Amino acid sequence: MPSPESLPAGYSLVAFCSSFGRLAILCSRACNQLHNRGATPSVSYFSFATLKESRERILDLRRLYLAAEGMAFTMFKRISTSTAYSAQTKFNLRLAAFALGLMALLGLVAASAYSQTTAPTTSSTPVSRTTKAINYRRSGTTLRVLFHGTDLMQQAGGEAKVENKGKRVEIDAKFEGLEDATKFGLEYLTYVLWAISPQGRAVSLGEVQVKDGKAQVKAISDMQTFGMIVTAEPYFAVTQPGDEVVAENTLDAANGGETIEARYELLARGVYSSSNTKIENAIFGIDRKTPVELFQARNAVRIARNAGAEKYAGPSLVKAGGQLQSAEDLYRQKRDKKMVVADARDAVQTAEEARVISVKQKAEEEAQAKVAAEKAAAEAREAKARQDATDEAKRRADAEQARQAAEAAKADAERLRAEAQKAAADAAKAKEEAEKARSAALADQQAALEQKRAAEADAVMARAAAAKAEQEKADLRAQLLAQLNSVLQTQDSARGLIVNMSDVLFDTGSYTLRPAAREKLAKISGILLAHPGLTLQIEGHTDSVGTDEFNQRLSEQRAGSVLDFLAQQGVAEPSITSHGFGKTQPVASNDTVEGRQKNRRVELVVNGEAIGGTSSK
């Protein structure tokens, strides 16, 4: 920076101010960069690196202010005492020094005000955005699709190979230039690749796991026309994209292809805000070496709670909390990282289900409240209309009485004329009242129609709930069948799920369980204990060899041995019964060795309301 002594005579204001141009630009850029961060220095928006950078910029501004203040003071002093300049030059130099001091002071005020700014309240209203959907309907073709970064991350890029396999489309996408997702706020921990249909439906293609700024995602979609975007998300299992879009697809012109404009909705960042919890402690805790999947699980449970899952989806939130605690315990015990990641991802998915349920339930409540408010307002308007009609009728009646009293003394002709006028007025009044009655009838009819529609809507919801309950029973029955079948041969029947224990699991001619039988029954008991409310009927059967009395007793003893062992394993005895049927219920011919071996068996009939059946005793 030149000193006042080095300036030539007649040095203009513009030439002198240009000597301080870099200082002014540095102050301006620092303030703009701080402002462009969103004026939100709270921990819920910046990453740790961003917070550190912001503090350093504020300190730089304050140091610049002190330096500028000293230079301005020195210039004023030297200009005032120096005789080497003309009066006009001295005036210009004084004005330049004053402008420099004012500029530094304003920069300090802006930095101080910024450092004290609190985070503004964010909105959770969905936002709309458009992207290019590409047509991949030609079977057997492969298109090369490019990705470019948005304004949020301009250096991001990538490409994808999209191949149509007939009924499905395979995607192999590679990305580079991706920064850590926490730059958008501590609630953002990962990226997700989405497919957007021309109608605006968003489907997750998978998590974009960044390592050294690069990532690769392989996915399959049943859509034939779609666009692709990458968004920063709080966890991998989100069901709708957020508004932090960092990359979008573009079609490589050399490959041809058809593009369609697709408009879709994004969740605003307020959905994942820290309105109820402090994000830093809720997600990261103290140990920063924790796997990112565990961070996502903590974040997902926090967001589900903020969405009201404790009120609307309590069981799902409790389940997610249990899965998260299991992952925390495994990590604390330094168990295999794959086990920690598996439990953490289960917690994320369960928490997202709880959040979605909560959002839907809350929306239904708000809709019902709105309908009730509108109904109350309509009733109030109707009551006011009736009151206004009554008041008007009374006013007309009073006016008519006054008119009749004033003309009572008139001649008979006038009286007849007055009576004719009164008759006309009565007819008009009757017509008005009839019109009012018709309006009231129409209003009542409309109200009845609305009530009918509401009743029909309630009936539809009730049928949907019943269908859902039946589907859940069928799903649980299929799950239980698969679990039992993995231990012993199991088949589904009208009586229930029948688990078959062959004769080889007992000592010959005895009811003593072999070790292999005990091992399998232990697994069966574990499955039953995991599904409370089930009933179990144990049925013993034999072949036709031996006397009826011996076969009957052996079948009862074998069924009893199984019952006793399951009771020892913790299965509730009131839910278990045993019966022996001897040789009376063969499933194959007793004339062959193979048939007799099939007939020597113990069957476990699993039933219960939880899987769509009733106890069969």
Length of the chain: 617
Residue 41 is classified by DSSP as -
Range picked from 190-194, 335-339, 574-578 for highest mean pLDDT: 190-194
Q: Which domain holds residue 375?
A: 371-468
In this structure, are 147 and 258 located in the same domain? yes
Is 481 within a domain? no
Query: What are the pLDDT digits (tens) for 167-194?
Result: 899 999 999 999 999 888 888 999 999 9
CATH of the domain at 554: 3.30.1330.60
109-148 residues labelled b (16+ CB within 10 A) or e (exposed): ebbeebbeeebeebeeeeeebebbbbbbeeeeeebebbbe
Residue type, 437: A
Residue 119 is classified by DSSP as P
Q: Which residues contact 56 (CB under 8 A, 6 or more apart)?
A: none
- Report how far apart, in Å, the C-alpha atoms of 511 and of each of 333, 438, 489, 578, 602 are: 44, 86, 20, 14, 11
Q: What six digits make up the tokens of 226?
A: 């779609």
In this structure, are 551 and 441 located in the same domain? no
Judged by average pLDDT, the poorest of 271-285, 350-364, 562-576 is 271-285
pLDDT grade, residue 343 (50/70/90)? very high
In this structure, are 32 and 111 located in the same domain? yes
pLDDT score for 383: 93
Task: Tell me phi and psi for residue 537, to 5 degrees.
Answer: -115, 120
- Helix (H) and strand (E) counts for the chain? 13, 15
pLDDT grade, residue 549 (50/70/90)? very high
Judged by average pLDDT, the poorest of 99-108, 164-173, 344-353, 572-581 is 99-108
Q: Single out the residue of 34, 23, 20 nearest to residue 110, CA to CA.
A: 34
Beta-strand relationship, 142-149 and 259-266? unpaired
Name beta bridge partners: 602: 501, 540
Three-state DSSP state, 40: coil
Last residue of a domain, one of 115, 141, 160: 115
pLDDT score for 609: 85
Is 282 within a domain? no
Judged by average pLDDT, the poorest of 88-102, 247-261, 303-317 is 88-102
12 has a pLDDT exceeding 50 = no
Query: What are the pLDDT digits (tens) for 14-69?
Result: 344 444 444 444 444 444 444 444 433 333 333 334 433 444 444 455 455 555 55
Q: How far apart are the first and last CA of the chain?
A: 101
pLDDT score for 4: 42
Is 482 within a domain? no
Distance of alpha carbon 14 from alpha carbon 519, whole angstroms: 94
Is 479 within a domain? no
Is 617 within a domain? no
In this structure, are 138 and 221 located in the same domain? yes
| DSSP class per residue in 403-429 | HHHHTTTS-HHHHHHHHHHHHHHHHHH
Distance of alpha carbon 519 from alpha carbon 500, whole angstroms: 15
In this structure, are 264 and 131 located in the same domain? yes
Q: Single out the residue of 25, 105, 107, 110 nearest to residue 72, CA to CA.
A: 105
Query: What are the pLDDT digits (tens) for 462-521?
Result: 888 888 888 888 888 899 999 999 989 999 988 889 999 887 778 778 888 889 889 999
pLDDT grade, residue 316 (50/70/90)? very high
In this structure, are 519 and 568 located in the same domain? yes
Asked whether the beta carbons of 394 and 402 are under 8 A apart, the reply is: no
In this structure, are 510 and 449 located in the same domain? no
Is 281 within a domain? no
Q: What six digits make up the tokens of 216?
A: 């690769």
pTM score of the predicted model: 0.44
Asked whether the beta carbons of 205 and 170 are under 8 A apart, the reply is: no
Q: Single out the residue of 279, 282, 203, 199 nearest to residue 238, CA to CA.
A: 203
Last residue of a domain, one of 335, 359, 383: 359
Distance of alpha carbon 282 from alpha carbon 302, whole angstroms: 7
Residue type, 468: K
Q: Which residues contact 338 (CB under 8 A, 6 or more apart)?
A: none
pLDDT score for 470: 84
400-438 residues labelled b (16+ CB within 10 A) or e (exposed): eeeeeeeeeeeeeeeeeebeeeeeeeeeeeeeeeeeeee
Distance of alpha carbon 426 from alpha carbon 136, whole angstroms: 77
Last residue of a domain, one of 61, 90, 115: 115
Number of domains in the chain: 5
> In the block, which residue shows the tokens 């009231």?
440
pLDDT grade, residue 103 (50/70/90)? low
280 has a pLDDT exceeding 80 = no
In this structure, are 338 and 391 located in the same domain? no
pLDDT grade, residue 584 (50/70/90)? very high
Task: Tell me phi and psi for residue 314, to 5 degrees.
Answer: -55, -50
In this structure, are 299 and 379 located in the same domain? no
Is 476 within a domain? no
Q: Where are the alpha helices (DSSP H) in 272-336?
A: 279, 292-306, 309-312, 314-332
In this structure, are 51 and 169 located in the same domain? no
Judged by average pLDDT, the poorest of 243-247, 324-328, 507-511, 527-531 is 507-511
- CA 536, distance to chain mean position in Å, is 40
CATH of the domain at 143: 2.60.40
Is 473 within a domain? no
Which residue has better confidence, 388 or 411? 388
The HSE-up count of residue 97 (CA atoms within 13 Å, CB side) is 21
Range picked from 1-5, 75-79, 177-181 for highest mean pLDDT: 177-181
pLDDT grade, residue 127 (50/70/90)? confident
Query: What are the pLDDT digits (tens) for 423-433?
Result: 999 999 999 99
In this structure, are 226 and 177 located in the same domain? yes
In this structure, are 525 and 598 located in the same domain? yes
- CA 545, distance to chain mean position in Å, is 64
SS3 per residue for 130-142? EEEEEECCCCCCE
Residue 181 is classified by DSSP as G
Beta-strand relationship, 601-607 and 535-541? antiparallel
Residue type, 394: K
Name beta bridge partners: 147: 158, 249
